[in-house]
Amino acid sequence: SYVLTQPPSVSVAPGRTARITCVGNNIEDKGVHWYQQKPGQAPLLVMYYDSDRPSEIPERFSGSNSGDTATLTISRVEAGDEADYYCQVWDGDSGHHVFGSGTKVTVL
């Protein structure tokens, strides 16, 4: 089955840039979606199809996908960005959706 690998944690100072990676075999051939989950809350879609941003998500959030790595980038990080972030793809070969293991973003 298709596997997505994320770093367990990323720490970043306020105002700096956080980059969260999601590694999968030839992931560039798939549409990658990203979700933000704060404690006690349901996930929230923050990026879809690699680099499209829902209208309610700040422009500070951007995405890319190349080779085996998709990346969610958060510019000018704020305290409110502290959360768990998950990548997700559809694996057509297995007929399964797959989530990455999640990355906890800590704002120092």
Partner 1 sequence: QVQLVESGGGVVQPRTSLRLSCVASGITLSNHGIHWVRQAPGKGLEWVALMSPDESKTYYADSVKGRFSVSRDNSKNTAYVQMNGLTTEDTAVYYCASTGLREDDSLDLWGPGTMVTVSS
CB of 75 to partner 1, least distance (A): 21
57 contacts partner 1 (rule: CB under 8 A): no
Residue with smaller CB distance to partner 1, 1 or 79: 1
90 contacts partner 1 (rule: CB under 8 A): yes
Helix (H) or strand (E) holding 11: strand 9-12
56 contacts partner 1 (rule: CB under 8 A): no
33 contacts partner 1 (rule: CB under 8 A): yes
CB of 45 to partner 1, least distance (A): 6
Q: How far is CA 65 from the centre of its chain?
A: 11
Q: Sort 82 into a burial class: Cβ within 10 Å, 0-12 / 13-18 / 19+.
A: middle
95 contacts partner 1 (rule: CB under 8 A): yes
CA distance 45 to 82: 15
43 contacts partner 1 (rule: CB under 8 A): yes
Residue count (the chain) = 108
